[in-house]
Amino acid sequence: MKELTDRIKDNGRVLGEGVLKVDEFITHQVDPELMDAMGKRLAEVFADKKITKVVTIEASGIAPAVYAAQALKVPMIFARKSKSLTMDEELLTASVYSFTKQVTSTISISRKFLSAEDNVLLVDDFLANGQAAKGLIELCQQAGANVAGIGILIEKSFQDGRQLIEDMDIPVVSLARISSLHDGKVTFIEEDA
């Protein structure tokens, strides 16, 4: 998606260890116009899949997931990384190793929000090694829900995430695919999803 790749070129910053910082427009400060366009694009791609819920993981998955859910006219659910006192219902839980924080956390969603009738679109800001997506897939599986696809804003294709998800026969669509972050430079695989 050209708007996104242009913005990454203009405002993205490569940190060491293969990490891209996009806090100017996605992960901290949010550009609502770009986010709206990206949500609509993901909704368009998955329009024929009869999606009933969009599911993501807090915190930076929430913004793209809300816009995609709004465009699909379905609810958005975000998995929590820490258990809240108000979560007194039965929970779906999975362990996720965080690529950026390098800690394992238990993610959870209240069971009442997902059921075997649901056809889920997973949305996240980044796809790196696929651990966040794998945890979300596990939560959906516990509920008996079907995962119809995964919509990602930025895929780092030099990491293993896409392969992991494709091996589960789940379609992955990424709006920007990065083949390398060598020498502080962002190289894209293709300009458009």
Please report, in range form, the residues annotated as the binding site for xanthine: 20, 27, 156
Closer Cβ to ligand 5GP, 73 or 185, answer by number: 185
Contacting ligand 5GP (CB under 6 A), which of 74, 121, 132, 143? 132
Strand-pair category, 146-156 with 19-21: unpaired
Phi-psi region of 38 (alpha: psi -120 to 50; beta: other; left: phi over 0): alpha
- Does the protein bind ligand 5GP through residue 128 (CB under 6 A)? yes
| Integer Cα distance of 93 and 24 in angstroms | 32
Stretch that binds ligand 5GP, among 37-45, 46-54, 86-94, 126-134 (CB under 6 A): 126-134
- Does the protein bind ligand 5GP through residue 126 (CB under 6 A)? yes
Report CA-CA distances (Å) from 39 to 99, 110, 123. Answer: 24, 24, 9
- Does the protein bind ligand 5GP through residue 175 (CB under 6 A)? no
Exposed/middle/buried for residue 153 (C-beta within 10 Å: 0-12, 13-18, 19+):
buried
Q: 83 to 122, contacts with ligand 5GP by CB under 6 A?
A: 99-100
- Does the protein bind ligand 5GP through residue 130 (CB under 6 A)? yes
| Integer Cα distance of 184 and 97 in angstroms | 25
Write out the residues near ligand 5GP by the rule CB under 6 A: 19-22, 27, 60-61, 99-100, 124-132, 156, 161
